[in-house]
Amino acid sequence: MTARTSPQAGAVPAEHRDAVTRLRAEVAALHAQLTRYQLVIWTAGNVSGRVPGADLFVIKPSGVDYDELDADAMVVCDLDGNLVEGTRQPSSDTAAHAYVYRHMPEVGGVVHTHSTYATAWAARGEPVPCVLTMGADEFGGEIPIGPFALIGDDSIGRGIVETLRGSRSPAVLMQNHGPFTVGRDARAAVKAAVMVEDVARTVHIARQLGEPIPIAQQHVDALYDRYQNVYGQTQQQTGGVA
The 8-class DSSP code of residue 85 comes to E
Residue 3 domain-assigned (yes or no): no
Residue 149 domain-assigned (yes or no): yes
Residue 190 domain-assigned (yes or no): yes
173 three-class SS: strand
Residue 71 CB coordination number (10 Å)? 15
Pairing verdict, β 4-5 and 46-50 = unpaired
Q: How confident is the model at residue 238 (pLDDT cuts 50, 70, 90)?
A: very low
What would the pLDDT profile of 28-40 be if each residue is shown by its tens digit?
A: 999 999 999 999 9
Residue 75 domain-assigned (yes or no): yes
Pairing verdict, β 82-85 and 109-112 = unpaired
Residue 83 domain-assigned (yes or no): yes
Residue 92 domain-assigned (yes or no): yes
Which amino acid belongs to residue 217? Q
Residue 2 has pLDDT above 90, yes or no: no
What would the pLDDT profile of 168-206 be if each residue is shown by its tens digit?
A: 999 999 999 999 999 999 999 999 999 999 999 999 999
Residue 49 domain-assigned (yes or no): yes
> What's the pTM?
0.92
Give the total number of structural domains in the chain.
Answer: 1
Residue 84 CB coordination number (10 Å)? 24
d(CA 179, CA 171): 7
| Residue 126 belongs to domain spanning | 16-229
Determine the average pLDDT of the residues in 69-77.
98
Give CA separation, 4 vs 84, 88, 153, 236, in Å: 9, 11, 11, 45
> Nearest 5°: CA angle at 231, between 225 and 233?
140
148 three-class SS: coil
Half-sphere exposure of 118 (CA within 13 A, CB side): 29
Q: How confident is the model at residue 1 (pLDDT cuts 50, 70, 90)?
A: very low
What would the pLDDT profile of 106-124 be if each residue is shown by its tens digit?
A: 999 999 999 999 999 999 9
105 three-class SS: coil
Residue 1 domain-assigned (yes or no): no
DSSP class per residue in 42-69: TT--EEEEEPTTSSEEEEPBTT--GGG-
d(CA 163, CA 158): 8
CATH (domain of 187):
3.40.225.10
DSSP class per residue in 25-40: HHHHHHHHHHHHTT--
Determine the average pLDDT of the residues in 121-138.
98
